[in-house]
Amino acid sequence: MTKKAIIVGASGLIGSKLLDILLAQPDYAEVLIIGRKKNKIKNTKITQLIVVEFEHLDHYAPSITGDVIFCCLGTTKKVTPDLAEYRKIDHDYPLQLAEIALKKGIGQYHLVSALGANSRSSNFYTKMKGDTEDDIKKVGLKNLHIYEPSLLIGYRKRSRPFERIAIVIMKIISPLLQGRLKKYRAIKAIDVAKAMYKQSLKHTSGVFTYTSDIIKQKA
């Protein structure tokens, strides 16, 4: 039976890779893209929902229907220096989407988080990611998948010089990261997208969290 997927953040590094996979695979007959701007990709499987103000995402709930939600939303301090706005994008909007998923009976919710997510952390980023995970878990979704990738490898439209340097360093030291340290290895964005797609085809129930080492196995 073919499915309908919903992607939020389809223009991002992981979201764009995931969109390509879903459009190429017969398991998904329709893909609903939710975003502020229209995606330029043309494909008969695609329908688009333009949301000007994500603060009022619940107003668009009647149009948000499907079998699986893939939440790939995320920003950076460079793009969104205002921490309150940063938190809205990485915490509030994914949480609203999870609440809509529960109300609409959408079977699966897949969230891209980050390695080290911890609501007790003193670091803004890791605490925010931890808060997002914890708050979405409280929503009560029956099938929640959380992906915690380490440093992502892949082409980005916006230049990130420090990240490029970090990737070069990680490629050198990654083979040295063994055992429990494997989760700190850099991972390709395409591998995260593959894992999300493959996990969405499984008939499971519960809350599942995948760090980079596990994501690599699932890809």
Q: What is the pLDDT of residues 30-86, one digit of tens each?
A: 999 999 999 989 999 999 999 988 999 999 999 999 999 999 999 888 889 999 999
Cα of 57 vs its chain's centroid, Å: 17
- Backbone φ and ψ for 29, nearest 5 degrees, come out as -90, -20
The pLDDT mean for the chain works out to 91
Overall average pLDDT of the 110-130 stretch: 97
Overall average pLDDT of the 196-219 stretch: 95
Identify whether the C-beta of residue 36 lies closer than 8 Å to the C-beta of residue 99.
Answer: no
Model confidence at 175, pLDDT cuts 50, 70, 90, reads confident
Identify whether the C-beta of residue 72 lies closer than 8 Å to the C-beta of residue 9.
Answer: yes
pLDDT at 44: 95
- Whether 159 shows a pLDDT value over 60: the answer reads no
Distance of alpha carbon 214 from alpha carbon 192, whole angstroms: 10
- Backbone φ and ψ for 16, nearest 5 degrees, come out as -70, -35
Identify whether the C-beta of residue 210 lies closer than 8 Å to the C-beta of residue 148.
Answer: yes
Overall average pLDDT of the 9-16 stretch: 94
Cα of 194 vs its chain's centroid, Å: 12
pLDDT at 77: 84
Distance of alpha carbon 108 from alpha carbon 112, whole angstroms: 13
